[in-house]
Amino acid sequence: MIAETHPAAGQLDKPFRQIQRIAHCWGTIGIMAAFAIRSSGADSKLLQSPEAPLVPLAYVRTLSVAPVVLMTPADPPLPVEPARTDKKRTAQWKARRKAREAMVRQRQSALTAFSAALQTRLSMDTAIRLESATAESISGDMVAALRDSIRSSNPKEELHSETRAKLAAKMAQVALAQHSDAFLLVTVDRFGTNKGIEKELWIRSTTWLCTPGGSRGPELNGPFFALGRSSTGRKLVGKGFAREDESLAREAADQAAKRLVNTLRTGSTTLFSENCRCAIVPAHLPATLAKRYEMTDEHVNGTASNNTSINTSHDNGTGNVALSSVFRQRDVLFQPESSPVTEISDRRDVEQALSSLSLQPGDFWEDGGVPSISRLQALAAILRCDYIFVSRVVGIDLVESPVVANDLGQPKAGVARSAEAEVEGLLFSARKAMVLWRDKLTGGTIARTEYVRHRPRIRTDEQCVADAVITAYAYLRSSFKEYRRKLDQDLKP
């Protein structure tokens, strides 16, 4: 049988194949366009919006960088060396001189490490051509203006108009001489070490950026602050600490340089890196609470274990418990970590400000648990602080139920007390008039009767509640520490 062929059918398939190819092309184009739109939407956060203020390094393609200037306060002079016959005072004087020399070495090591880290970060993190300015470009008038700004009595006070104009003119002159778009002047104005169970080293830089500005005149931006910290514990075997001072200095310097470059790129400053004041409001907690008594079915029906004498004087019900000891600790329950350059307001000043406003710590929350921004701003204005920490105990649940305890293998009557506390804390920024951080956590504890020398022992109701509240506040401090750690992780690499 001979198969019939139809040439016209093959010719008819060609238009359909062309239509199919066109449909595939348009489908591919649509997918690519959707992906491009989605990608542009994701990257739009990195772009500068027209409404947002310009970042410090906007429109800067050539940057003159001066050597880092050390602006820390001068070391106080050593006392006169005592007579060699007084061996005790001589030994103390030598130990003090040795500590002073070690501090100078650590500071110089941190300064050198910070200068190298800043050059590396600027070269890696920005698409800007760097021009190295000489040390002679920093004149004595410029250093004097910087010292006036650092020694300002008010941490938030900016440079005076005359001093600011003088500093901007000197910096613009250097930028124009090197044909640069801007001149970067970096100083190290704070440095310190703390030694105890752990050893901590920290360094803080203050930076100014000046653009010549053309016909408008020079424009001075700053100061921009960056803080770097590093710590180490003691050795498990032997004396001293696990890490050397040089390693701590490199880590702190690299952290400060990373934060500084991120500030220049984005305009955002790391929390607590600038000179600021912070107030911690005492925790709000109830003076009394209702304790609940729960009885299990076997104890109510008298079917408990043999040889037990269960006290069933309390059926399912409630009773009031005073919290006087916990109430006395309200000033120290919440102690979040700030920074070495942060000034904490005195507790008496905070209490006096609350009294003048006729406010209690619990009044900073409105109905529904919403923070009261207006009251927080009023308190910040009286205390002249930049940040306020507020916390409260939202609720406490204390339950007591009978259990069977063990006394040398003999079952005896006992009780189990379970306490659970829910706490809430927040950080308010007076400059931004907004809540930066807020969290609500729960902590609990359980106490059971133990027989020691045939006598029952158990923590009191107030002790159980105090342990639950302290545990919840420990979780709250860890939550704020995790919040600061995530802020550092969000820095652009």
The reported pLDDT for the residue numbered 173 is 83
Which of 254, 277, 279, 276 has its CA nearest to residue 488?
254
- Amino acid 291 reads K
Position 19 confidence tier, pLDDT thresholds 50, 70, 90:
low
The reported pLDDT for the residue numbered 29 is 47
pLDDT at 27 exceeding the cut of 60: no
| Cross-strand partners of 400 | 293, 417
Q: Which long-range contacts (CB under 8 A, 24 or more apart) does 477-485 make?
A: 477/334, 477/335, 477/336, 477/337, 479/425, 479/439, 479/441, 480/336, 480/337, 480/425, 480/427, 480/437, 480/439, 481/336, 481/337, 483/437, 483/439, 484/271, 484/337
The reported pLDDT for the residue numbered 17 is 57
Q: What is the C-alpha separation between 214 and 219, in angstroms, rounded?
A: 10
pLDDT at 297 exceeding the cut of 70: no
Position 157 confidence tier, pLDDT thresholds 50, 70, 90:
very low
pLDDT at 137 exceeding the cut of 80: no
Q: What is the CA radius of gyration of the chain?
A: 33
The reported pLDDT for the residue numbered 6 is 43
Q: What is the C-alpha separation between 467 and 489, in angstroms, rounded?
A: 33
The reported pLDDT for the residue numbered 301 is 44
Residue 473: φ, ψ to 5°: -70, -30
Q: What is the C-alpha separation between 396 and 394, in angstroms, rounded?
A: 7
Position 359 confidence tier, pLDDT thresholds 50, 70, 90:
very high
Which of 231, 155, 225, 158 has its CA nearest to residue 189?
225
pLDDT at 331 exceeding the cut of 80: yes
User: Average pLDDT over the chain, rounded to whole?
Assistant: 80
Mean pLDDT, residues 442-462 taken together: 90
Q: Among 42-46, 146-150, 322-326, which range has the highest average pLDDT?
A: 322-326
Q: Which residue has the tokens 């649940």?
A: 397
H/E segment holding residue 190: strand 182-195
Q: Nearest-5° angle of CA 369, CA 475, CA 271?
A: 80
Q: What is the C-alpha separation between 310 and 316, in angstroms, rounded?
A: 14
Percentage of residues in the chain with pLDDT exceeding 90? 32
Q: What is the C-alpha separation between 331 and 343, in angstroms, rounded?
A: 17
Residue 345: φ, ψ to 5°: -65, 145
Mean pLDDT, residues 430-441 taken together: 93
Position 36 confidence tier, pLDDT thresholds 50, 70, 90:
very low
| pLDDT top residue among 220 and 492 | 220
Residues 232 and 91 sit within 8 Å (Cβ to Cβ):
no
381-428: per-residue pLDDT in tens?
A: 999 999 999 999 999 999 999 988 888 888 888 899 999 999 999 999
The reported pLDDT for the residue numbered 277 is 92
Which of 454, 451, 460 has its CA nearest to residue 405?
451
180-190: per-residue pLDDT in tens?
A: 888 898 989 88
The reported pLDDT for the residue numbered 482 is 92
The reported pLDDT for the residue numbered 267 is 82
Q: Which long-range contacts (CB under 8 A, 24 or more apart) does 70-77 make?
A: 70/107, 70/111, 70/187, 70/188, 71/143, 71/146, 71/147, 71/150, 71/187, 71/188, 71/189, 71/206, 72/107, 72/188, 72/189, 72/190, 72/191, 75/100, 75/103, 75/104
Q: What is the C-alpha separation between 330 and 351, in angstroms, rounded?
A: 12
Neighbouring residues of 102: CB distance < 8 A, sequence distance ≥ 6: 245
Mean pLDDT, residues 241-255 taken together: 91
